């Protein structure tokens, strides 16, 4: 299996622009997680889905952030409008439903200027 | 609210030394405890996962233990090598996954 795939790997954008991050989970996995990692706050869970349904989005920092999972093989995390403080590495991870290992993608490094 | 703490924050050891990384959590109602490795500028690689009903897991030179009653997990690395240099993170699995801040390990050749 190719593992969790994220795109783009790097994104540089100007403040106020819309940013869309994409994730393809491992085939057969039915839980998907979006994380954000910064030096100040470490790794934070933003939202996770079970069977394409959002279960907990309490980690989403503001209404500017939204996530969707239209099918079992694709998810997006959108920031609109973006701000410099959104600069971070965003990771997507997937697992089998329940209490199993999470497998991480390589991350998207977002820089908002 | 679950809090996960890792001690020490950084560790430097000579090659060949056995070492222990510590992880503590405040809420013992966890599904599992997972240890990850992260190399600079890279994603996270899963090392070991211990289910709540288990006490330890082993993989090669790595051994992880879990004591829910005391809210502690340890990652033991035997015969450390320079290639083990990385940041090691633990994560408590429950309704939400909570990560510790990590221990940055440097193994000197």
The reply to whether residue A99 touches residue B51, judged by beta carbons under 8 angstroms, is yes
Give chain B's contact residues with A (Cβ, < 8 Å). Answer: 31-32, 34, 36, 42-46, 49, 51-52, 89, 91, 93, 95-102
- What span, in angstroms and rounded, lies between the C-alpha atoms of A59 and A50? 16
Name A21's Cβ contacts closer than 8 Å, sequence gap at least 6.
A6, A7, A8, A11, A76, A77, A78, A90, A92, A108, A110
The reply to whether residue A101 touches residue B34, judged by beta carbons under 8 angstroms, is yes
Which tens digits make up the pLDDT trace of B72-87?
999 999 999 999 999 9
DSSP label of A62: S
pLDDT tier for residue A62 given thresholds of 50, 70 and 90: confident
The reply to whether residue A98 touches residue B31, judged by beta carbons under 8 angstroms, is yes
Distance of CA B17 to the CA centre of its chain: 17
The reply to whether residue B101 touches residue A42, judged by beta carbons under 8 angstroms, is yes
DSSP label of B69: T
Q: What are A29's two structure tokens?
A: 């996995």
Q: Residue A1 pLDDT more than 70? A: no
User: Span A39-65, mean pLDDT?
Assistant: 93
């Amino acid at each position: 299996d190719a593992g969790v795939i994220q795109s783009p790997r790097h994104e540089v954008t100007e403040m106020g622009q819309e940013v869309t991050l994409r994730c393809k989970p491992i085939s057969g996995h039915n839980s998907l997680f979006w994380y954000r990692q910064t030096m100040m706050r470490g790794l934070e869970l933003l939202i996770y889905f079970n069977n394409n349904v959002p279960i907990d989005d309490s980690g989403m920092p503001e209404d500017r952030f939204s996530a969707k999972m239209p099918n079992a093989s694709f998810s997006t995390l959108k920031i609109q409008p973006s701000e410099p403080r959104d600069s971070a590495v965003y990771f997507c991870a997937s697992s089998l439903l329940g209490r199993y290992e999470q497998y991480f993608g390589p991350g998207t490094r977002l820089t908002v200027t | 609210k679950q809090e996960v703490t890792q001690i020490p924050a950084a560790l430097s050891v000579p090659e060949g030394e056995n070492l222990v990384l510590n992880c503590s959590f405040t809420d013992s109602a966890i599904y599992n405890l997972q240890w990850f490795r992260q190399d600079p500028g890279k994603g996270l690689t899963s090392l070991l996962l211990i289910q709540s009903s288990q006490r330890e897991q082993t993989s090669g030179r790595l051994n992880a233990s879990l004591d829910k009653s005391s809210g502690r997990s340890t990652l033991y690395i035997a015969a450390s090598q320079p290639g083990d240099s990385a940041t090691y993170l633990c994560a408590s699995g429950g309704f939400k996954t909570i990560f510790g801040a990590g221990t940055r390990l440097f193994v000197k050749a």
